[in-house]
Amino acid sequence: GAVVSQHPSRVICKSGTSVKIECRSLDFQATTMFWYRQFPKQSLMLMATSNEGSKATYEQGVEKDKFLINHASLTLSTLTVTSAHPEDSSFYICSARVLAGSTGELFFGEGSRLTVL
């Protein structure tokens, strides 16, 4: 299957700092990537859709000024958690599909575990 890679896999930061997470499609180009968040013992919740060359679209209840998304190339999307607080501690996972459009299999990165102290 297609490979999606995230970095870093784990990050610990102090409250009030910003953290950037990268999501790369390694063997294909992705015009659209998706960012999810997963709290312990819960399911994955879609946060936003990252669109190459345009603004991200956010799901209801997700603060766009807090979770900055940039999709500057066809293989890279970044999620920046600004002014992180302990309640932002979570597992963040990105995904992408090989085929353009709204159908087709989605592949997921390894996830990035954020701990805010």
By CB under 8 A, tell whether 72 contacts another protein.
no
CB of 105 to another protein, least distance (A): 4
Closer CB to another protein, 17 or 42, in the complex = 42
Beta carbon nearer to another protein, 67 or 107: 107
* Binds another protein by CB under 8 A, chosen from 61, 65, 87, 103: 103
| DSSP-assigned letters across all residues of the chain | ---EEEE-SEEEE-TT--EEEEEEESSS--SEEEEEEE-TTS-EEEEEEEETTS--EE-TT--TTTEEEEEEETTEEEEEE-S--GGG-EEEEEEEESSSSS-S-EEE---EEEEE-
